Every structure is written in C-alpha cells, then in structure tokens.
Amino acid sequence: MDPRSNPFAPGAGSRPPELAGRDEVMELIAIQLDRLRRGRAARHHLLVGLRGVGKTVLLDEMARRAEANQFVTVRLETPENRSLPSMLVPTLRSALLRLDRGQAALTKAKRALSALRNFASAFRLEMGEASFGVVPAEPGVADSGDLDLDLSDLLCLVGEAAQERGAGLALMIDELQYVPENDLGALIAALHRAGQLQLPVALVGAGLPQLYGLFGRAKSYSERLFIFNEIGPLDKASARQALIKPVQQEGVEFRENAVERVIDLTQGYPYFLQQWGAQVWNVAQKSPITRKDVSEADPLARAELDASFFRVRFDRLTPRERQYLRAMADLGDGPQRSGDVAERIERTTSQCGPVRDSLIRKGMIYSSEHGLMDFTVPLFADFMRRAMPDLEID
C-alpha cells in the first residue's frame, strides 16, 4: 500500500501512532507528580527496561502532560561521558527564565538564576555573564565546589522558584545509566533534600536495567525515594492495539491471523512491532492485510532491523567486545554466567573483566543477578550469530 500513508514509526524515540499498553504507568506517575506539586509526600519514578521497549517515547509523553499540568519540565538525554552539571546548567537556566517571564519584581526565580551562575562558575562551566541578564549576586550559595551540597542548594532554590509560581519542576532524564556515579549520587541527595522541604521538584528517569545497581550503590536510601517501573514488551492485547488501531485509522483491515503472526514474530517488543508493521504495510497490495503479507514482509523487516537497530550498536564495539558478545550468543539466548562466557573464549573471568565492564558502561549488556550477564537489546544474541557466523578464539 502507499508508503506515504504508512502509519508506523520505527526508530529510536519516534512517537508511535498508538502508544499502547502504557496508560497505567502513566497514570501512576501523573499522580505522583501532582502530589509533589501540591507539596505532598511522593516518590520519584524510574522507567527501566531494555532498548526499544518505549522508554523515551513514554518520557516524552509524560513531559508533554506535565507541561500541560503546570509543570516546567527539563528534558535531558544523557550522552556517554558528560557531567550532569554541564547538562543541567543550560536547561535549568531556561526553566528559570520561563518561571521569571513577565515578572519585574525580585522573584525567587531571579535568586535561583544567581545561584545557578555561582554553580556554573564553581564547576567551571561556560555560561557567559550576559546570558543571565541582570540578577543580583548571591554569594555563598551553590558555590562550594562540592557537588552534593551545591546541587542540593540549587535544586531547592529552583523548587522554591517554581513553588512561588504555583508550578512544579519536573526533571525528565533519559539514558540515566550514563550519568556518572558521583553525579547521580548528588542528584539523589538533592532530590532527597527537596523532598524534605516539600518542594515541588520531581524526577522521572529512564534507563537500562543497570539502573537498579547504580541507584543502590549511589545512595543507600534511594530505595525509599524511587519507584522502579519495569517497562517491557507489550502484552498481547496491547500489541494488538498497537498494530490494529493505526491501520484502522487509514481505513485498512488487518486479518486476525496476520496480527497474531506479527505478535509472535516480534514477541510484543514495541520497536519490532513498528518495524514489522511498517514492512507489512508496504508489502500488502490492498486491505485486508493477510498472513501471506506478513510472511513476505518478515525477512525485509529483519534486514531493516539488522541494518539499523542492531548494526549501530555493533559498529561501536571493539574486536574484543564483539568476541565477548559472540561468545555470550554462542551459549544461547537469555542470561549467561560470566564464568561460562570466559571459558567459551578460553580465558579466565578476571581476564575478561575489563571488556565486560566496558560493555556494561556502553550499555550493551547488564548483569541481572549474581554473575549473570544479558544483552540490553532484545534478540541481540540472534543478531550476533548472524553478524559473526563463527566465534573466533585467539
């Protein structure tokens, strides 16, 4: 059918035509955000799951709703190797300017801007005096150079500024596993402090399963502060909605056995549903979409995934890292013991330590339970076996 009207949206962070199966978690988070804004006790939320399950689009949708609900949102995506302060300074600055818009008087937002200037200079971040406009100096605030203290000062002042306007501040941070551990600790401490002062500052974070370990290590009390929401594949009913609704809106029918087949092939993973949906649409000549169309589209969808979703990750790996992942895949799908992986390439576990650590840092794998390693990308084991037919041992 006409690719111009293809409703599906495969791609990292691409808004799906139908955001299926996530109403419950969105409502849960919306309730916590509202409670926080009203100065009531609430916990912060984390969205945790593998790549391609829809964390980013969920975060975007939450940000959109929060904005419509008297929140000023700060939307960040953490790249690898970037400090949290360097990301927060420009984004908090624009949040504060928004809070201060149209206000001639000396608002709390202006005071917070001045604290932000101190903070930026304490952490040697280029901000440029001019970009702050005329704000009074506020010596001794957020300028000690100790990130735990300064970030707490700063976030509390921003919280007060929001509170003064009857608003809330929502930090929406994606790829949270890339925030350096020290910085993460400081962020948790700051949120803890803001909570004690009943300030309307909320975090909604998203990231890979390494977040469980990272949060536990960063601050012992983080368990009480955060709710971990596991974001996974869609259940059958939601996966059906994700496929059927978008085509219905284009006046096209999807045969029941064709829908079933796509759900089987994709295991309900949102990224894969979009990818298969898109190919099936292009292959089908007319409504209804049949099981035969799905069979024809299947290899094309796989090839597309290989060339994009999987390949971009593979290309960032060193030969040693590839070998390690190939050894994991050699042992089968699902979690593997690191001892078994090392043995498969005739090395000791400690010899493999550095390569395993760098794969965890790059967000390729995570350790689920004691010593059990798994891929952060669904169906990646299968891809590794396709991309490297043989495991070479040197």
Ligand X SMILES: Nc1ncnc2c1ncn2[C@@H]1O[C@H](COP(=O)(O)OP(=O)(O)O)[C@@H](O)[C@H]1O
**Using CB under 6 A as the criterion, which residues of the chain lie in contact with ligand X when the complex forms?**
9-14, 16, 18-22, 49, 51-57, 242, 270-271, 273-274
The smaller minimum CB distance to ligand X, of residues 32 and 56, is found at 56
Distance in Å, CB of 377 to ligand X, minimum: 9
177 lies in the site for Mg ion, by CB under 5 A: no
Contacts of 264 (CB under 8 A, 6+ apart): none
The smaller minimum CB distance to Mg ion, of residues 6 and 56, is found at 56
The smaller minimum CB distance to ligand X, of residues 18 and 138, is found at 18
The smaller minimum CB distance to ligand X, of residues 208 and 352, is found at 208
Backbone phi, then psi, for 123, in 5-degree steps?
A: -105, 20
The smaller minimum CB distance to Mg ion, of residues 56 and 222, is found at 56
Distance in Å, CB of 54 to Mg ion, minimum: 8
Q: Which residue is nearest to Mg ion (CB)?
A: 56
Evaluate whether 279 touches 254 at the Cβ level (below 8 Å). Answer: no
Distance in Å, CB of 7 to ligand X, minimum: 11
274 lies in the site for Mg ion, by CB under 5 A: no
Q: Which residue is nearest to ligand X (CB)?
A: 54
Which one of Mg ion, ligand X, none is in contact with 268 (Cβ closer than 5 to 8 A by kind)? Answer: none
Evaluate whether 250 touches 5 at the Cβ level (below 8 Å). Answer: yes
Q: Three-state secondary structure along 9-71?
A: CCCCCCCCCCCCCCHHHHHHHHHHHHHHHCCCCCCEEEEECCCCCCHHHHHHHHHHHHHCCCE
Distance in Å, CB of 176 to ligand X, minimum: 11
Which one of ligand X, Mg ion, none is in contact with 138 (Cβ closer than 5 to 8 A by kind)? Answer: none
**DSSP-derived 3-state class of residue 362:** coil
Which one of ligand X, Mg ion, none is in contact with 242 (Cβ closer than 5 to 8 A by kind)? Answer: ligand X
Which one of Mg ion, ligand X, none is in contact with 14 (Cβ closer than 5 to 8 A by kind)? Answer: ligand X
118 lies in the site for Mg ion, by CB under 5 A: no
Cα–Cα distance, 176 to 363 (Å, whole number)? 11
Residues in 39-68 at the binding interface with Mg ion, rule: CB under 5 A: 56
Which parts of the chain are beta strand (E)?
Answer: 44-48, 71-77, 168-174, 201-207, 226-230, 336-337, 365-367, 372-375
Evaluate whether 12 touches 77 at the Cβ level (below 8 Å). Answer: no
Select from 11, 170, 207 the least CA-distant residue to 75. Answer: 170
* DSSP character at residue 134: S
Distance in Å, CB of 13 to Mg ion, minimum: 6
Strands of the 71-77 sheet, one edge to the other: 71-77, 168-174, 201-207, 44-48, 226-230
Distance in Å, CB of 51 to ligand X, minimum: 4
Which parts of 225-313 are beta strand (E)?
Answer: 226-230
Distance in Å, CB of 303 to ligand X, minimum: 17
Which one of ligand X, Mg ion, none is in contact with 205 (Cβ closer than 5 to 8 A by kind)? Answer: none
The smaller minimum CB distance to ligand X, of residues 16 and 185, is found at 16
**DSSP-derived 3-state class of residue 224:** helix
Relative to beta strand 226-230, strand 201-207 is unpaired
The smaller minimum CB distance to Mg ion, of residues 56 and 290, is found at 56
The smaller minimum CB distance to ligand X, of residues 123 and 314, is found at 314
Distance in Å, CB of 238 to ligand X, minimum: 7
Which one of ligand X, Mg ion, none is in contact with 274 (Cβ closer than 5 to 8 A by kind)? Answer: ligand X
The smaller minimum CB distance to ligand X, of residues 12 and 307, is found at 12
Backbone angle region of 198, left / alpha / beta, with phi > 0 → left and psi within -120 to 50 → alpha: left
Which one of Mg ion, ligand X, none is in contact with 53 (Cβ closer than 5 to 8 A by kind)? Answer: ligand X
The residue type found at 157 is L
152 lies in the site for Mg ion, by CB under 5 A: no
Distance in Å, CB of 364 to ligand X, minimum: 13
The smaller minimum CB distance to ligand X, of residues 14 and 103, is found at 14
Distance in Å, CB of 66 to ligand X, minimum: 17
Relative to beta strand 372-375, strand 336-337 is antiparallel
Cα–Cα distance, 205 to 56 (Å, whole number)? 10
Which residues of this chain interact with Mg ion, rule CB under 5 A?
56
